[in-house]
Structure 1
Amino acid sequence: MQWPWGNGWVLLLLTVVVLVVLVACTPAVKEKKEQKEYVVTVEGTIMKVLEDDTDTKGGKHQRLFVRVNKVLDNPEDVRIERKEDIFVAIRYGDKDGFPQRLKELDKGEGKRIEIRGRYIPKEQAVGNEKKSVLHFTHKPVGYIRFDNKTHR
């Protein structure tokens, strides 16, 4: 049997071209590297107090760089460098974080702080700083201990 478009080569060629175009136009699905988080407690020194930020969902964060002096609790034995400066995000102003800003931290540069939260190693961190991150520093996971006062 003879096809109107020849013996099928044209149809095969058209099918291949359509498939190539479809594959080329489909956005590549990037594999998101698995982000592991570990609950840790560190003692450190506030190196720098940054400006607060507001995420798109309305959560506000106080932001600090803290130099790790001592690891107090590290149940999963994640590698945390002593003397490493880590990025700390302290959520406030909504039901998920602290009720309000911890104003005493504004003048905390050079002072000791103890923080418990979820730790993300710098190899997995996102953003421009490429520093390890400590977040979820509020209930039910973490706390902040500063100037002899504990904030949960």
Structure 2
Amino acid sequence: MLECQRDAQTQRWLFQPRELTLETVGKRIAEAEANLLGGRSAQFSIVEVATGAVCGDCTVGLAMPEIGLANLGYMVHPAFRGRGYATRAARLAADWAMTVPAIGRLEASAVVRNEASLRVIEKAGFTYEGVLRGFLPNPVGPRWDTGVSSRTR
């Protein structure tokens, strides 16, 4: 997780760049079970089956519980990119999310210039809905336009 966050390509698309430490990663891992049990989010590790190596993570977070809206996010370690792991993880997490009674709509989004992430979302079975102009702050320039896709029940 630390290596993923420190990767230049990952940092390029973060709207809130942050420097993770072993302490903050440990806290995030420790909170994962409580977040799942509390119905706030489910965090999954992306594991390469052949080697057992953890190569990323995928999270489903309940954004607006009162209307059943959740968000999907994912991150893959640079050494494992381009192998379809993000797409498979996003598809599996989305399939799981659609079985959760509290979730009626799952959104996934990416900066419109992040073509790789937009492809992952499309291949994972999400329907592209359009662009939110200036939706995300860009720490080094003008606000980013963001492509939004969804899966619904």
Q: Report the TM-score, using the length of structure 1 for normalisation.
A: 0.25
Higher relative contact order (CA 8 A, sep 6+): 1
Identify the structure with the greater helix proportion: 2
